[in-house]
């Protein structure tokens, strides 16, 4: 079965020409997006993702021409058309079609496009072996520039980091912020477990990850201490455990950062427990697609 996508009120084949070359999402990266997962015919943390999409839009003064409930119904409808059981959904909203010249007033209406496709675990056997991460020489864009809390179509900084990870044969790239503190990975949040405390950097320097919040909640339910605080690579290298979180990556154990082997080089026991709890949660909760 071919994949159906949604663009501005129409359902079409994934290869259909659908976005104008004058769309400011393409010309200027002027737009926002989300990444959402479906497990077992249910959409995980649907409201949280939709809220973040609308908050990103608000931050760039972009009006999404649909009520939230209507937007959600279209995503569900697209999932049904593509018979999604386990899937990944990508809503994208751009400033819309304008002309050359970056003034957003040239765009009369936002472009709304949605992809919903089947999706399997991102890292394959690395969930058992652990992931290799390298620190990128690029710094995460600070809140003084395009705020990292905005899930914008400006991901070039992240792409550059990813290229460095590829060149180092690593699975992910780790950003520092402008002060040299750990910020996040190219498409994931970053955690250390140090002195038994599940720790992640404060969200001013990174995306407020929905998976990160979930991991923090799961850790707290287990009675573990959690903390958001600044830390440096020294803490990473000497951590008991490290892991990444993201909608696509889920919870991924990190065993090597910049060639430093984390603890005994195996996924840590607390990380493994969190991975299991996360798996149980995603498979048992969420908004049903087919009711
Ligand atoms: C830069 C960045 N950080 C972190 C994340 C993880 O966020 P979430 O768990 O909400 O998917 C993502 C992915 O969405 C991302 O692109």
Domains of the chain: 4-118 (3.30.470.10), 126-283 (3.20.10.10)
Instruction: Provide the pLDDT for residue 66.
Output: 97
Given 151, 228, 266, 279, the catalytic residue = 151
Instruction: Provide the pLDDT for residue 122.
Output: 87
Pick out the chain residues at pLDDT < 50: none
Structure confidence by residue, pLDDT tens digits, 41-65: 999 999 999 999 999 999 999 999 9
> Does the pTM exceed 0.85?
yes
Instruction: Provide the pLDDT for residue 154.
Output: 95
Instruction: Provide the pLDDT for residue 291.
Output: 79
Among this protein's residues, is 41 annotated catalytic? no
Our measurement of the distance from residue 114's CA atom to the centroid of its chain's CA atoms, rounded to an integer in Å, reads 16
Are the C-beta atoms of 133 and 245 separated by less than 8 Å?
Answer: no
| Any ligand 1 atom below 6 A from CB of 141 | no
Rounded to the nearest whole angstrom, what is the distance from the C-alpha of residue 188 to the centroid of ligand 1? 5
Are the C-beta atoms of 254 and 244 separated by less than 8 Å?
Answer: yes
The DSSP bridge partners found for residue 152 are 32
The DSSP bridge partners found for residue 134 are 173
The DSSP bridge partners found for residue 252 are 244
């Amino acid at each position: 079965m071919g994949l159906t996508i949604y663009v501005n009120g129409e359902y079409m084949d994934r290869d259909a020409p659908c976005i104008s070359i004058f769309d400011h999402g393409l010309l200027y990266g002027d737009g926002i997006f989300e990444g959402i997962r479906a497990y077992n015919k249910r959409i995980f943390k649907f409201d949280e993702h939709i809220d973040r999409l609308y908050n990103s839009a608000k931050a760039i003064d972009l009006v999404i021409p649909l009520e939230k409930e209507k937007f959600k119904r279209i995503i569900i409808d697209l999932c049904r058309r593509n018979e999604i059981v386990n899937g990944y959904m990508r809503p994208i909203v751009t400033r819309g079609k304008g002309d050359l010249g970056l003034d957003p007033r040239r765009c009369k209406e936002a472009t709304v496009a949605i992809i919903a496709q089947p999706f399997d675990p991102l890292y394959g056997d690395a969930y058992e072996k652990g992931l290799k991460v390298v620190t990128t020489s690029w710094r995460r864009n600070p809140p003084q520039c395009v705020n990292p809390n905005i899930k914008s179509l400006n991901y070039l900084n992240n792409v550059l980091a990813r290229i460095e990870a590829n060149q180092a044969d690593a699975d992910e790239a780790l950003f520092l912020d402008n002060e040299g503190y750990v910020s996040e990975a190219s498409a994931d949040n970053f955690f250390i477990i140090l002195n038994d405390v599940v720790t992640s950097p404060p969200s001013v320097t990174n995306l407020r990850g929905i998976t990160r919040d979930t991991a923090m909640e799961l850790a707290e339910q287990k009675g573990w201490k959690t903390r958001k605080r600044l830390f440096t690579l020294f803490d990473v290298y000497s951590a008991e455990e490290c892991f990444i979180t993201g909608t696509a990556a889920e919870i991924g154990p990190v065993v090597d950062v910049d060639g430093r082997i984390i603890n005994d080089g195996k996924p840590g026991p607390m990380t493994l427990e969190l991975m299991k709890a996360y798996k149980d949660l995603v498979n048992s909760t969420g908004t049903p697609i087919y009711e």
